[in-house]
Amino acid sequence: MTQVKICGIKTLEHALAAAKSGADTIGFVFAESKRQVSVEEAARIAEQLPKHIKKIGVFVNASEVELENTFHQVGLDYVQLHGSESPQFCERLSLPYIKALRVKTEQDLEVLESYRQASYFLLDSATGPYQGGNGTTFDWRHLKRASIDRKKLILAGGLNETNIEDAIIQTNPAMVDVSSGVETNGTKDSEKIQRFIQKVKERSTCHTHNQ
Residue pLDDT, tens place only, 39-63: 999 999 999 999 999 999 999 999 9
**DSSP character at residue 56:** E
Q: What is the pLDDT of residue 209?
A: 47
Active-site residue among 7, 24, 90, 177?
Answer: 7
Within the chain, strands assigned E span 3-7, 25-29, 54-59, 78-81, 97-103, 120-125, 153-155, 175-178, 183-184, 187-188
User: Is it the case that residue 125 has pLDDT exceeding 90?
Assistant: no
Q: What is the pLDDT of residue 207?
A: 53
The domain over range 3-210 is classified in CATH as 3.40.50.620: no
Those residues with Cβ within 8 angstroms of residue 6's Cβ, 6 or more apart along the chain or in another chain: 14, 18, 23, 25, 26, 27, 178, 179, 182, 188, 193, 197
Choose the weakest-confidence range: 124-133, 136-145, 168-177. 124-133
User: Is it the case that residue 134 has pLDDT exceeding 90?
Assistant: no
CB 80 within 8 A of CB 122: yes
Q: Taking Cα atoms as reference points, which of 199, 106, 122 lies closest to residue 161?
A: 199
Is 124 one of the catalytic residues?
Answer: yes
pTM over 0.85: yes
* Higher pLDDT pick, 55 / 140: 55
User: Is it the case that residue 131 has pLDDT exceeding 50?
Assistant: no
Active-site residue among 77, 90, 108, 124?
Answer: 124
- Percent of the chain residues topping a pLDDT of 70: 91
Provide the pLDDT confidence category of residue 109 given band limits of 50, 70 and 90.
confident
Provide the pLDDT confidence category of residue 139 given band limits of 50, 70 and 90.
confident
